[in-house]
Copies of this chain bind each other. A is one copy, B any other.
């Protein structure tokens, strides 16, 4: 039976399981009226934002679909259709994941009160699992359908580059979701903190603060929907890249084209087992339980993949699985290095120096705190880059075995490049379970916020706090996977682009001035997009500050906590929503227009340069910004928890650390993550337009 068809069936089964898990989550009753009210407000705010966002995007998607029909050479309707499918699949994954996450957070707080830690863990995990299984299932379903209808893997291969349309649809939604979600969440967070915590001196998550609901909505919009869309497009991107490379090569047979779908299928089945294993693990230590569900998924994937691949007709044998395993290991190591630079705890006995350094530098004020955070962020890029290089080297090395001057004749670089796509798959194939853990984090975080706002008491708060803190550690690994897989996926897509554009080695030479021009422009784009998104957060936060100040001033008794006086939270939700929708347009347009302009004006080699340039600075800036932001955040927490000698909550050093944390907010939650998607989106746009480009361009 056709592998693509099996994948379609399995993903449908997985989606059905996700629906059952959603039922299970919502079956928990919320019998505290305050919890019910706040949960409803957060869910309404989040769904309202998603709907408004998708309404905007449907216009954009429609226009691009029409343009694609005309731009892409013959069979343009296939690319257009695939594009629409990719966008739709991403939207569906986002909607269902969001609905589940926002349903689960209040219920996690309730479960903590009624059933204790194990019950709360199960609910929050299942809330995340709906997102995980939706992302994995819809990704696998969509790409399998596309492959099935395009006849990939048949003896007579059709032009698989149309499948890139699916990836472009997913990537477009992802960029807008990440940028919009990132702006939403940070405008609310920064605004609520600046007026509430700093000016009015009331605690975080205090129900008097009009920005608190927007802040909690933002956690879902940014971390759940944004992260989900990001991972979704990485997952389909890595599959598509491998398929295009294999399809364009005269040396790779049809089984190489179908292999990525096979791996996605195995990974998804392994993820299902991993997710279910939580039922058995939920009574053990929660951190270990979370990690073990991931390990079970990954282990099963490796074992089944290793044996399964033997049944395929590949002249590289099991080498693709070696590349897969290298990719997984690199992802895990990047996560641990991230933890080393941004975490308070030591990593495997390695004493962290970064957080104590920033803590110390906070004592001489905000300027030295800022300098320290920025330099920690910059320094933290190096080891992950070296790890990514190891991944590239290893994947290329093993796959090239016998293809440098083998009997088949000559140098066949496509095998090595295919291996890089396999390494990306190593971080992405078990997306069903890794994404579950990623989405679990904000659910646990929100549960804590709701418990605080509803006054559920210290016992409940202790449980949600502990669930939240283990979420942070596993989230670091998740970020490592996100960044590592973005780099490798973008690189694989770059290879797919050069294959699709028919660029020979001598046409992508660094000594060609047009390639260098592309490289420089591509390198500058992540700086531009980072600047745009940071400015957007600043502007939106300013509006939020003005509104919250107004409410504290004009609503009698609000700040004093008078019985029955409530803030106008809806107004703050509206400000964040409007700002996110308005400000997400610019970066999205840049990402789609830039490759088109450079490709047509300067030719396909220059566009290749652009992709390489944006890959380099995009990955570096994403690492820099994410890690600087994480380090500032934890330096503040380290002071609060008494880890920094001579500094404590409320003193000048702590004030400086709070300022650093605020600088880091748009770094780690808006600009940094946007760059991961930027580089992938530009790459996939390039793959789609590749057949229409010329070598010389118009200039």
Interface centre among A379, A513, A608 (most CB of B within 10 A): A513
**A603 proximal to B (CB < 8 A):** no
Question: A367 to B658, alpha carbons, bound, how many Å?
Answer: 9
Question: A130 to B378, alpha carbons, bound, how many Å?
Answer: 38
**Contacting pair B417 A511 (CB below 8 A):** yes
Number of interface residues of A (CB under 8 A): 82
**A523 proximal to B (CB < 8 A):** yes
**A494 proximal to B (CB < 8 A):** yes
* Chain B residue contacts of A413, Cβ below 8 A: 511-513
Question: A198 to B367, alpha carbons, bound, how many Å?
Answer: 12
Q: Which residue on B lies nearest to A624, using beta carbons?
A: B527
Question: A308 to B367, alpha carbons, bound, how many Å?
Answer: 54
**Contacting pair A528 B364 (CB below 8 A):** no
Interface centre among A388, A495, A509 (most CB of B within 10 A): A509
Interface-forming stretch among A68-76, A121-129, A467-475, A499-507?
Answer: A499-507
**Contacting pair A386 B510 (CB below 8 A):** no
**A371 proximal to B (CB < 8 A):** yes
**Contacting pair A531 B379 (CB below 8 A):** yes
Nearest-neighbour CB distance to chain B for A236, whole angstroms, equals 22
Nearest-neighbour CB distance to chain B for A692, whole angstroms, equals 20
Q: Which of B416, B516, B527, B617 is in CB contact (< 8 Å) with A513?
A: B416
**Contacting pair A392 B523 (CB below 8 A):** no
**A286 proximal to B (CB < 8 A):** no
**Contacting pair A372 B535 (CB below 8 A):** yes
* Chain B residue contacts of A613, Cβ below 8 A: 616
Interface-forming stretch among A8-16, A220-228, A536-544, A569-577?
Answer: A536-544
**A534 proximal to B (CB < 8 A):** yes
**A508 proximal to B (CB < 8 A):** yes
Copies of this chain present in the complex amount to 2
Contacts A194-B364, A385-B520, A523-B385; is A617 near B617 (CB within 8 Å)?
yes
8 Å CB interface, A153-171 against B: none
* Chain B residue contacts of A515, Cβ below 8 A: 510
**Contacting pair A612 B519 (CB below 8 A):** yes
Question: A531 to B378, alpha carbons, bound, how many Å?
Answer: 6
**Contacting pair A520 B616 (CB below 8 A):** yes
Q: Which residue on B lies nearest to A656, using beta carbons?
A: B366
**Contacting pair A516 B392 (CB below 8 A):** yes
**Contacting pair B616 A519 (CB below 8 A):** yes
Nearest-neighbour CB distance to chain B for A637, whole angstroms, equals 17
**A663 proximal to B (CB < 8 A):** yes
Contacts A381-B524, A521-B385; is A509 near B511 (CB within 8 Å)?
no
* Chain B residue contacts of A541, Cβ below 8 A: 364, 368
**Contacting pair A663 B388 (CB below 8 A):** no
**Contacting pair A524 B620 (CB below 8 A):** yes
Contacts A365-B659, A545-B364; is A378 near B506 (CB within 8 Å)?
no
Nearest-neighbour CB distance to chain B for A276, whole angstroms, equals 38
Q: Which of B520, B532, B609, B659 is in CB contact (< 8 Å) with A510?
A: B609
Contacts A511-B505, A520-B616, A520-B619; is A367 near B662 (CB within 8 Å)?
yes
Nearest-neighbour CB distance to chain B for A338, whole angstroms, equals 15
8 Å CB interface, A353-370 against B: 361, 364-368, 370
Contacts A364-B194, A364-B542, A367-B663; is A382 near B528 (CB within 8 Å)?
yes
**Contacting pair A527 B379 (CB below 8 A):** yes
**Contacting pair B503 A504 (CB below 8 A):** no
Nearest-neighbour CB distance to chain B for A573, whole angstroms, equals 21
25 interchain pairs, CB-CB under 8 A = A364-B541, A365-B659, A368-B538, A374-B663, A375-B534, A378-B527, A379-B527, A379-B532, A381-B524, A382-B524, A385-B521, A386-B524, A392-B513, A393-B514, A396-B513, A413-B511, A413-B512, A413-B513, A416-B513, A498-B510, A504-B506, A508-B511, A511-B608, A523-B616, A523-B617
**Nearest 8 CB-CB pairings of A with B:** A367-B662, A378-B531, A379-B531, A505-B509, A523-B616, A505-B506, A375-B534, A396-B513
- 11 additional contacts, CB 8 Å, given A388-B520, A494-B510, A505-B511? A367-B659, A370-B659, A371-B663, A374-B663, A378-B527, A378-B531, A385-B521, A385-B524, A389-B517, A417-B511, A506-B506
